[in-house]
């Protein structure tokens, strides 16, 4: 099955649909697909994540160049799965009037938790935001009643886009579709760290904000450079109010809109057979 991360958040299903493949069983991608935005080389820093010799499908040219500078080879620029979802479903979630803010607190994952004060962050959100606030938690934090209560007690709507699935599970198949619907109903998207959700939101017209305690992984890898590096590389994207034009421009660059491949190109790169049409 190559790697399970290729199927997280419904990525392989979206790309399969774009290539005209049936949705019943997502196809095995022959290589490693970048599954989320990061500012290293598109993948975790540990070398055992991607087997040598297999292609790495990345979102943007800066990641290809950074990976190359670190001795990694075999990069293919295809843009983020998100841009293919927008191509397939341009009207999903569109509403006449957008209202309020959707806020994404930085989260841990199954093997690493984060440390931070959610109650204090919730107070800061309440002081900054105008209008209704939706807080979207990762499924691990959503399963923690104390964390949910930190936000619900401030009057915020608390949601979760769902768990990330595998090739055979249906858990994550609609993750990005749910996210698209929520982003398009809100006027603003905000977080305490730059991440995929911020760029997704900016790409569909949300105002962007990055503020609050950035929180930390318990054993955060030094290769990323931490908060200081993020602020040094993207100073224009930090603050309670960010220039919408700069945010939209950064989103198009980081999500790789200019590298959207054709269905035929993806089928060739992924090792998928061409679909015969009548």
**CATH number for the domain harbouring residue 118:** 3.40.50
The pLDDT score that the predictor gives to residue 203 is 98
State whether 240 and 261 are in the same domain: no
State whether 211 and 152 are in the same domain: yes
Is 22 a member of any domain? yes
CB 67 within 8 A of CB 58: yes
Provide the phi-psi class of 32: left if phi over 0, else alpha when psi is between -120 and 50, else beta.
beta
The pLDDT score that the predictor gives to residue 234 is 92
State whether 114 and 209 are in the same domain: yes
pTM score, whole prediction: 0.89
Is 276 a member of any domain? no
The pLDDT score that the predictor gives to residue 195 is 93
The pLDDT score that the predictor gives to residue 220 is 62
State whether 45 and 106 are in the same domain: no
CA atoms in the 13 A half-sphere facing the CB of 107: 22
Is 195 a member of any domain? yes
State whether 163 and 241 are in the same domain: yes
Cα(65)–Cα(120) distance, rounded to whole angstroms? Answer: 39
For the chain, give the mean pLDDT. Answer: 86
What tokens were used for 206? 């949300």
State whether 50 and 141 are in the same domain: no
Is 275 a member of any domain? no
The pLDDT score that the predictor gives to residue 43 is 72
Is 47 a member of any domain? yes
State whether 83 and 150 are in the same domain: no
State whether 227 and 261 are in the same domain: no
Is 278 a member of any domain? no
State whether 201 and 216 are in the same domain: yes
Domain that holds residue 29: 4-88+256-270
The pLDDT score that the predictor gives to residue 26 is 67
**pLDDT per residue rounded down to tens, the chain (278 residues):** 446 666 678 888 899 999 998 877 667 888 888 888 987 776 766 655 555 668 889 999 988 887 777 777 788 999 999 999 999 999 999 999 999 999 999 876 555 567 689 999 999 999 999 999 999 999 889 999 999 999 999 999 999 998 876 555 666 678 999 999 999 999 999 999 999 999 999 999 999 999 998 887 666 655 555 678 889 989 999 999 999 999 999 999 999 999 999 999 999 999 887 554 43
Q: How many domains does the chain have?
A: 2
The pLDDT score that the predictor gives to residue 277 is 43
Is 95 a member of any domain? no
Cα distance from N-terminal residue to C-terminal residue, the chain: 30
Q: Which residue has the tokens 């697909």?
A: 33
The sign of the torsion formed by the CA atoms of 33, 34, 40, 41 equals: positive
Query: Residue 205, Cβ neighbours under 10 Å: how many?
Result: 16
């Amino acid at each position: 099955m190559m790697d399970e991360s290729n199927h997280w958040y419904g990525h392989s299903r979206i790309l399969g649909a774009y290539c005209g493949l049936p949705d019943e069983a997502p196809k095995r991608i022959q290589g490693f697909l970048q599954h989320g935005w990061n500012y290293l080389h598109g993948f975790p820093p540990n070398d055992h994540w991607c087997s040598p010799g297999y292609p790495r499908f990345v979102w943007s040219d800066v990641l290809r160049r950074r990976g190359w500078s670190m001795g990694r080879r075999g990069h293919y620029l295809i843009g983020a799965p998100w841009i293919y979802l927008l191509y397939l479903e341009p009207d999903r979630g569109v509403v006449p009037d957008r209202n309020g803010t959707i806020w994404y607190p930085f989260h841990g994952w199954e093997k690493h938790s984060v440390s931070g004060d959610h109650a204090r962050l919730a107070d800061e959100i309440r002081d900054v935001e105008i209008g209704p606030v939706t807080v979207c938690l990762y499924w691990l934090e959503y399963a923690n009643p104390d964390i949910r209560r930190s936000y619900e007690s401030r009057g915020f709507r608390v949601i979760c886009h769902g768990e990330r699935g595998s090739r055979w599970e249906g858990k994550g198949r609609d993750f990005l579709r749910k996210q698209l619907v929520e982003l398009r109903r809100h006027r603003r998207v905000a977080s305490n760290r730059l991440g995929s959700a911020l760029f997704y939101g900016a790409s569909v017209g949300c105002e962007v904000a990055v503020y609050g305690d950035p929180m930390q992984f318990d054993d955060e890898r030094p290769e990323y450079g931490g908060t200081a590096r993020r602020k040094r590389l993207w100073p224009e994207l930090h603050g309670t109010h960010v220039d919408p034009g700069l945010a939209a421009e950064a989103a198009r660059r980081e999500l790789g809109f200019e590298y959207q491949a054709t269905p035929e190109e993806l089928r060739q790169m992924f090792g998928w057979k061409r679909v015969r049409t009548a």
